[in-house]
Amino acid sequence: MTYKHVFAAALVTASLIAAPAAFAAKKKLTGEEQLAKLLEGREAGKPVTCIQLNQSDSTVIVDKTALVYRVGRTLYVNRPTNADRLDNDDILVTKTFSSQLCRLDTVQLHDRTSRMWSGFVGLQDFVPYTRVKKTAAAN
């Protein structure tokens, strides 16, 4: 083995040893911190009881905190009952009887790996968050 090979092997070994420390050093955000980051630059509007499900572009599960539905440029935050059951690795199963998702509807949670039922949450009011309009600075 040449010096170059020994050096490369030592470098790889050192990086493998340091990787867990670097991974552990990265702080995992709490659900509230994740939600605050997601809503940064937005302000809350008047809560609504229903949203049009067919207009929802995406849904984000914020661990143990909330469900966030994107409808166009607006984010609707729902802090359901049993929010402590929310896990961003779950699959949401929503059974609706109309084109709207409303307060008091329930959402089943299924584990992504086993596909087993892992609980449910009961929806509450949806709080719309829109981007804050920047005003021109006065000269």
**pLDDT tens-digit profile of 28-65?**
899 999 999 999 999 999 999 999 988 999 999 999 99
Q: Where are the beta strands (DSSP E) in 1-139?
A: 42-44, 50-52, 58-62, 66-71, 74-78, 90-94, 100-102, 106-111, 117-122, 126-131
Tokens for 7, please give them: 């050096």
Tokens for 101, please give them: 């998702």
Average pLDDT, the chain: 86
**Of 134, 123, 130, 124, nearest in space to 39 by CA:** 130
User: What is the tens place of the pLDDT at every residue in 81-109?
Assistant: 999 999 999 999 998 888 999 999 999 99
Tokens for 52, please give them: 């049009």
Task: With residue 22 as reference, give the H or E element that holds it.
Answer: helix 3-25
